[in-house]
Amino acid sequence: ATWAWTRGLSRPAWYLLQPRSEGQRSPPTSMGSSSANGAAAGSLGSLRLKLFFTSDRVFSSHFYRDLRELLLMSPDVKPVTSSAAYVLGEMVQHKDDAAQPLVKIFKSHSSVLPLLRALASWEVAGATDPHTIFRGNTLVSKCVDEYMKLTGMLYLQDTLKTVVAKILSERLSCEIDPTRLKDGESLKVNEAHLRGYVGSALQAIVGSWVACPWELCDLFSMLRGLAADRFPGRKELQYSVISVFLFLRFFAAAILSPKLFELASRPIDEQSHRTLTLVSKSIQTLGNLVSSTSAQPFYKEDYMKEFYENFITEEHKESVRQYLELISLKNVPMRNLDTPSIVLKEGTMTKRAQGRNKLGLKNFKRRYFCLTTKELYYSKTKDSSPLCTIPLYEILGVEKVQEDSFKMKNVFQVIQKSRALYIQANNCVEEKEWRTILTRICHFN
């Protein structure tokens, strides 16, 4: 059959695919005809295709100069609804078709945040119900989605790949809907499996704040600031404008459809897909709970309500709040972080005794170290009183120490105004992890 394509038109049809050696291809038949629904005995079967044909004419860069300059002026146009970027979003049938090129253009000119700020400010200012902000498929929502994928895809994959891989490899049943239980399955056992996966996913997410790209932190800080200005004193709304993107459109979406986010490459079996769906629902709900003022959240399914009530604690919700706080900080010293102290990292390492010049091994002692959102301290054991406490705002820098300095590997120094604390990690991986998280904290000081 001849494929006659016409730009801008859609043509539904069936095409029979068969080996070339078997003769001529069959002509297309209209959608839904009897010949499209079956295949002759002994045939190879049929394959349904959904094809998109795009014809673009690409000119030299200078032909686009005026259009590019007009688009880049959009953040400064008042109101933003009169800007070229906004008008472009209104002209297309699908907002994605405008959001993707707009984000790439503005990103190449380091101007994405001003555009997103202008679009978000307009949406926040016109909101009548604050709980619906950014939950529609508007241009700003699609632009934020695209920007998060461009700048945060590696972050998302590093955060969730272990949990998703475990779910796909173990293939444990997590079905907690009594009407869908298979013969021989135990509701309590399945619920325990689901609690384990949700707990692992949540721990991976809230513990990943130190790896969140700075571009995303700046974005979340801006969104949080807009909500604070528009709705003063409504802390839950500051969380909401972040969680709607980060939990609903990013983490939960990736868990639900791991292939779309390059977290899986092979086909996913039905049971694993059901587990991913339940874990995704749970993570999304946790994001919603911290941004809700309702003491009794609404649940679509009774079985999920029972699971949440048995699983989710105030500690879970507080860890999510802390995570949203940390990834939306910008130029805010750690000393001004008005939240409960939460442990970021802990472990036993070797430290050099303070104020001693000799390089003998006796100067190095094994100590328990604990880094929280308020301080870094060490003690003889985990349960003993701290021997030394360093407020985070006093940490000026973190550097790797060359092996020749102490004839020891995996040593780094925590730099303070009057002295330096030398610490030897147990291995190179641990040393890098401590340096990474401490370096991130130094950016706030």
Q: What is the pLDDT of residue 193?
A: 96
Q: What is the pLDDT of residue 35?
A: 46
- Whether residue 286 is contained in a domain is answered as yes
Of 237, 224, 434, 238, residue with least CA distance to 330: 224
The pLDDT tens digits of the residues spanning 295-328 come to 555 667 888 888 888 888 888 888 898 899 889 8
**pLDDT reading at 113 higher than 70:** yes
Q: What is the pLDDT of residue 13?
A: 66
Q: Using an 8 Å Cβ cutoff, are 263 and 161 in contact?
A: yes
**pLDDT reading at 5 higher than 90:** no
Task: Please check whether residues 32 and 1 belong to one and the same domain.
Answer: yes
- Whether residue 81 is contained in a domain is answered as no
Task: Please check whether residues 327 and 361 belong to one and the same domain.
Answer: no
- Whether residue 111 is contained in a domain is answered as no
- Whether residue 151 is contained in a domain is answered as no
Task: Please check whether residues 294 and 361 belong to one and the same domain.
Answer: no
The residue out of 336, 358, 393 marking a domain boundary is 336
Domain span at residue 384 reads: 343-442
Nearest-angstrom CA–CA distance, 97 and 93:
8
Q: What is the pLDDT of residue 407?
A: 84
Distances (CA, A) of 391 to 336, 351, 376, 386, 396: 12, 18, 6, 13, 11
Q: Using an 8 Å Cβ cutoff, are 415 and 435 in contact?
A: no
- Whether residue 97 is contained in a domain is answered as no
Task: Please check whether residues 320 and 351 belong to one and the same domain.
Answer: no
- Whether residue 262 is contained in a domain is answered as yes
**pLDDT reading at 441 higher than 90:** no
- Whether residue 260 is contained in a domain is answered as yes
Q: What is the pLDDT of residue 225?
A: 92
Residue with the bigger pLDDT between 56 and 334: it is 56
Task: Please check whether residues 395 and 330 belong to one and the same domain.
Answer: no
Task: Please check whether residues 40 and 186 belong to one and the same domain.
Answer: no
Mean pLDDT of 244-270: 94
Q: What is the pLDDT of residue 51?
A: 79
Average pLDDT, the chain: 85
Mean pLDDT of 259-267: 93
Nearest-angstrom CA–CA distance, 148 and 134:
14
Task: Please check whether residues 325 and 296 belong to one and the same domain.
Answer: yes
pLDDT tier for residue 43 given thresholds of 50, 70 and 90? low
Nearest-angstrom CA–CA distance, 318 and 295:
15
Of 132, 55, 141, 156, residue with least CA distance to 103: 141
Length, in residues, of the chain: 445
Q: What is the pLDDT of residue 311?
A: 85
Task: Please check whether residues 312 and 347 belong to one and the same domain.
Answer: no
**pLDDT reading at 198 higher than 90:** yes
Task: Please check whether residues 348 and 392 belong to one and the same domain.
Answer: yes
Task: Please check whether residues 314 and 181 belong to one and the same domain.
Answer: yes
Q: What is the CATH number of the domain that holds 283?
A: 1.10.506.10
The pLDDT tens digits of the residues spanning 364-411 come to 899 999 998 788 999 999 999 999 999 988 999 999 998 888 888 999
Residue 110 backbone class (left: φ over 0; alpha: ψ -120 to 50; beta: rest): left
Q: What is the pLDDT of residue 102?
A: 97
Residue with the bigger pLDDT between 306 and 187: it is 187
The residue out of 306, 336, 366 marking a domain boundary is 336
The residue out of 336, 352, 381 marking a domain boundary is 336
DSSP 8-state class, residue 77 = S
- Whether residue 138 is contained in a domain is answered as no
The pLDDT tens digits of the residues spanning 329-342 come to 764 445 555 556 66
Q: What is the pLDDT of residue 427?
A: 94
The pLDDT tens digits of the residues spanning 209-231 come to 888 988 999 999 999 999 999 98
Torsion of CA 122, 126, 129, 134, to 10 degrees: -20
Q: Which residues pair with 397 in a beta bridge?
A: 415
Of 169, 304, 328, 115, residue with least CA distance to 241: 328
Segment holding 95, helix H or strand E:
none
**pLDDT reading at 6 higher than 70:** no
pLDDT tier for residue 345 given thresholds of 50, 70 and 90? confident
Mean pLDDT of 84-100: 95
Mean pLDDT of 334-351: 73
Task: Please check whether residues 302 and 392 belong to one and the same domain.
Answer: no
Q: What is the pLDDT of residue 39?
A: 45
Domains in the chain, number: 3
Q: What is the pLDDT of residue 312?
A: 85
pLDDT tier for residue 199 given thresholds of 50, 70 and 90? very high
Neighbours of 21 (CB within 10 A): 5
Q: What is the CATH number of the domain that holds 373?
A: 2.30.29.30
**pLDDT reading at 106 higher than 50:** yes
Q: Using an 8 Å Cβ cutoff, are 327 and 212 in contact?
A: yes
Task: Please check whether residues 297 and 365 belong to one and the same domain.
Answer: no
